[in-house]
Chains A and B, each alone.
Chain A
Amino acid sequence: MSILLAILVDGVAYGMILFLISVGLSVTMGLMRVINLAHGGFALIGGALAHLALIRLGLPWAVAAGLGVLGTVAVAVVLERAFYRHIYGRPELEQVLATVGLAFLMIASVNLALGSSLLALPAPEWMRGSVDLGVRTLPVHRVVVLAAGAAIALALWALVERSRFGIRLRAAVDDARAASALGIDTGRVYAAAFALGAGLAALGGILGAELLPIEAYYPLRYLVLFLFVVAVGGMGSIAGSLAAALALGVLDTAARYLVPDFGTIFFYLGTMAILAVRPRGLLGRA
């Protein structure tokens, strides 16, 4: 019994980290339908900026994290204008090639500026240590991630499904021409949605850094992980991404507890099984 509870606790905590680092991609790739393989690059930029603010400038953690996210949003707005705008309507292969190239550029830039060793993002004092849940002591950091993940999931759902911005975004993606004929500034809506996706990537990168440390190769090292979560969750579904991340987290954790010698095979088998039954993902839109 206690092992089941331990799996559940660890699995949900791990799943929430997966959700945090992937949800931004669910926005750009799912809602905006851009195959953004440079997603991890925005997490890297956020982490690198936060690292600079935290280590070089000695700012408090929360301020550094905020600067990292805002800095990434600024970079994303510029990139959206200069680069992404031109690939929105392009075929998928062209989007893949363009964004993978961008990911390489981001890797090389960080490598050149900061080197290829790990970029430390030490958690603040209040996030260290652990809380005793009875079945399992859980690091405070993971509790913070759990809370942040839940809050972001809720806020995003409200934003996309309930707010005026969400309506405009969905309208712009579904039929850009009709949307602009109705007076929606589609260019602006796209830019805002893209910046949101990048900002979420940065936040995920910074909050997840205790598990997936920030270093120059981050965008490619974890790319498959992001894609799994979005694919299993279903493109464009925030709730789907959350469900997928939690399911994959629990599955992977259970495999590590029960059959560690089998490696990560259950993660892949689970993904294949879900996609075989539901090719559009758990909660994918048709």
Chain B
Amino acid sequence: MPRRPLRTAALAAVGIVVGWSALAETVRIGVIAPFSGPFARYGEQFQQAVETYVALNGDDPGGHQVEWLWRDSGGPDPGRAKALARELIVSDGVDYLAGFTFTPNAMAVAPLITQAEIPTVIFNAATSTITEASPFFVRASHTLAQLAAPAARHAHGEGARKVVTAVTDYAPGHNAEEAFTAAFEAEGGEVLDRIRMPLKTTDFAPFVQRIKDSGADAVFVFLPVGPPTFAFVKAYNDNALADAGITFYGTGETDETTLEALGDAALGLTTLYHYSAAHDSPENAAFQAKLAELHPGAIANFMSVGAYDGAHLLWTMIEAAGGSDPEAAIEAVEGLEWTSPRGPLKLDPETRHVTQNVYVRRVERDAETGRLVNREVETLPDQPDWGLVGD
């Protein structure tokens, strides 16, 4: 008897016959993430975080042996992600998939995992609609709406009435802009201008000047981590927007991997985000201590914590269902509550996405280490994915 009638039927439909019986003892997890190219660091961070989780929690959940298969997706490349997922499912016989840095890559595998019934844990890809694309998706990271909507309410609560949004002109930027605008207008505020900046922009001075001339009292910003963020923050400072009374509200712009390069220019910036490496809790301390022990010099940030909590979801599913019962695996994590390095988490059974605290952070220089940190100054508890819950 085949162990998985549905999955086997699906595979038979594409004309491939695989003997499953040989895999009875070992649970296999295929991870699709970038390990080469400009985003290679993300895959490396996934791997480091997973190793850290395994070192702290044991390598045999529920007595099962776990085998990890790491596959390189390169950058945003849905075709390659889909091909890798197919190969992992069909040839390697994985029981779970995980990883996914970019939304298009996650979207591309949705039909496959639905057909083959492979529970798939998203470590990062942050577009709300992903978890709607397949009932076998669960997500351990964040969504842009989950951050942008609380950012809008917080900005309004702090007295902002007229804002400009400035986002990078690509899908995540649009998501962030729409969620922020909707929430801010619902609070009674006014969005004066919605600026979408080309992905290739290197000089942000004209945009910053436009924000300055708009008469806004705050600007909401979303840019991809790396050079664009760096250049925008420089332009914000060079043009003295803070002195002109325009408060900066961002999300991940002050990410731990970019923060030191930003230097003093970042001091005082306000961002709303779900994880700060400076989060003060025993769980975070244990995570960072182990990470530093295994990988000296590794930086803990949203990528690593997404993979760390993703590993927790995988371990919970394997403990409950081994590798043979995908439905039971998903059920085992729906409504699951635990304390992560970032704070309390709950996997919302409706959206299969984590409900979590969003922290208001301010960049300051740590007195002890002399390094820049995102200091949490306020906690907005239990934020669901406003992209799916709100409408």
Chain B min CB distance to A12 (Å): 12
Chain B residues with Cβ under 8 A from A130's Cβ? 238-240
Contact across chains for A221 and B227 when beta carbons are under 8 A apart? yes
Q: Closest B-chain residue to A220, C-beta based?
A: B38
Contact across chains for B202 and A212 when beta carbons are under 8 A apart? yes
Query: Is B383 in contact with chain A by the CB < 8 A criterion?
Result: no
Query: Is B339 in contact with chain A by the CB < 8 A criterion?
Result: no
Contact of B205 among A14, A116, A119, A217 (CB under 8 A): A14
Contact across chains for B240 and A120 when beta carbons are under 8 A apart? no
Chain B min CB distance to A145 (Å): 12
- Inter-chain CA distance A264–B196, complex, in Å, is 12
Query: Is B41 in contact with chain A by the CB < 8 A criterion?
Result: yes
Chain B min CB distance to A213 (Å): 5
Interfacial residues of chain B within 260-293, with CB under 8 A of chain A in the complex: 260-264
Chain A residues with Cβ under 8 A from B261's Cβ? 117-120, 213
- Inter-chain CA distance A272–B84, complex, in Å, is 39
Contact of B200 among A115, A217, A264 (CB under 8 A): A264
Query: Is B332 in contact with chain A by the CB < 8 A criterion?
Result: no
Q: Closest B-chain residue to A224, C-beta based?
A: B200
- Inter-chain CA distance A211–B227, complex, in Å, is 8
- Inter-chain CA distance A116–B39, complex, in Å, is 9
- Inter-chain CA distance A217–B39, complex, in Å, is 10
Chain B residues with Cβ under 8 A from A139's Cβ? 238-239
- Inter-chain CA distance A212–B231, complex, in Å, is 7
Chain A min CB distance to B130 (Å): 26
Interfacial residues of chain B within 198-256, with CB under 8 A of chain A in the complex: 198, 200-203, 205-207, 209-210, 226-227, 230-231, 234, 238-240
Contact across chains for B196 and A261 when beta carbons are under 8 A apart? yes
Q: Known contacts A118-B261, A264-B201; is A215 also within 8 Å of B234 by CB?
A: no
Contact across chains for B226 and A215 when beta carbons are under 8 A apart? yes
Chain B residues with Cβ under 8 A from A210's Cβ? 231, 234
Chain A residues with Cβ under 8 A from B38's Cβ? 116, 217, 221
Contact across chains for A211 and B226 when beta carbons are under 8 A apart? no
Query: Is A253 in contact with chain B by the CB < 8 A criterion?
Result: yes
- Inter-chain CA distance A119–B260, complex, in Å, is 9
Chain B residues with Cβ under 8 A from A141's Cβ? 238
B interface bracket (residues with beta carbon within 8 Å of A): 20 to 34
Chain A residues with Cβ under 8 A from B197's Cβ? 260
Contact across chains for A263 and B169 when beta carbons are under 8 A apart? yes
Query: Is B54 in contact with chain A by the CB < 8 A criterion?
Result: no
Most chain A CB within 10 A, of B40, B195, B238, is at: B238
Chain A residues with Cβ under 8 A from B203's Cβ? 10, 14, 17, 211, 252-253, 256
Chain A residues with Cβ under 8 A from B238's Cβ? 130, 139, 141-142
- Inter-chain CA distance A136–B201, complex, in Å, is 21
Interface size on A, residues (CB 8 A): 37
Interface string of A1-21 (1 = CB under 8 A from B): 000001100100110010000
Contact across chains for B263 and A122 when beta carbons are under 8 A apart? yes
Query: Is A257 in contact with chain B by the CB < 8 A criterion?
Result: yes
Chain A residues with Cβ under 8 A from B257's Cβ? 117-118
- Inter-chain CA distance A217–B202, complex, in Å, is 14
Chain A min CB distance to B293 (Å): 19
- Inter-chain CA distance A263–B231, complex, in Å, is 17
Chain A residues with Cβ under 8 A from B115's Cβ? none
Q: Closest B-chain residue to A210, C-beta based?
A: B234
Q: Known contacts A118-B230, A221-B227; is A257 also within 8 Å of B210 by CB?
A: yes
Contact across chains for A257 and B231 when beta carbons are under 8 A apart? no
Query: Is B112 in contact with chain A by the CB < 8 A criterion?
Result: no
Contact across chains for B41 and A117 when beta carbons are under 8 A apart? yes
Query: Is A137 in contact with chain B by the CB < 8 A criterion?
Result: yes
Contact across chains for A213 and B231 when beta carbons are under 8 A apart? yes
Chain B residues with Cβ under 8 A from A252's Cβ? 203
Chain A residues with Cβ under 8 A from B227's Cβ? 118, 212-213, 215, 221
Contact of A253 among B169, B196, B206, B230 (CB under 8 A): B206
Chain B min CB distance to A227 (Å): 14
Interface string of A233-262 (1 = CB under 8 A from B): 000000000000000000011001100110
Contact across chains for B299 and A10 when beta carbons are under 8 A apart? no
Chain B min CB distance to A123 (Å): 9
- Inter-chain CA distance A225–B38, complex, in Å, is 18
Interfacial residues of chain B within 344-373, with CB under 8 A of chain A in the complex: none
- Inter-chain CA distance A225–B205, complex, in Å, is 18
Q: A116-B38, A118-B230, A213-B261 are in contact. List 8 more A-B contacts (CB 8 A).
A: A17-B203, A120-B263, A136-B209, A210-B234, A211-B203, A221-B227, A256-B201, A256-B207
Tell me the B residues contacting A by CB distance below 8 Å: 38, 40-41, 169, 195-198, 200-203, 205-207, 209-210, 226-227, 230-231, 234, 238-240, 257-258, 260-264, 297, 299
19 A-B interface contacts by CB (under 8 A): A111-B40, A115-B297, A116-B40, A117-B41, A117-B261, A117-B299, A118-B258, A130-B238, A136-B209, A137-B240, A142-B238, A210-B231, A211-B203, A213-B230, A217-B38, A221-B227, A222-B202, A260-B206, A263-B200
**Which 8 A-B pairs have CB atoms at the shortest separation, nearest pair first?**
A118-B261, A256-B206, A139-B238, A263-B198, A120-B261, A117-B257, A217-B38, A122-B263
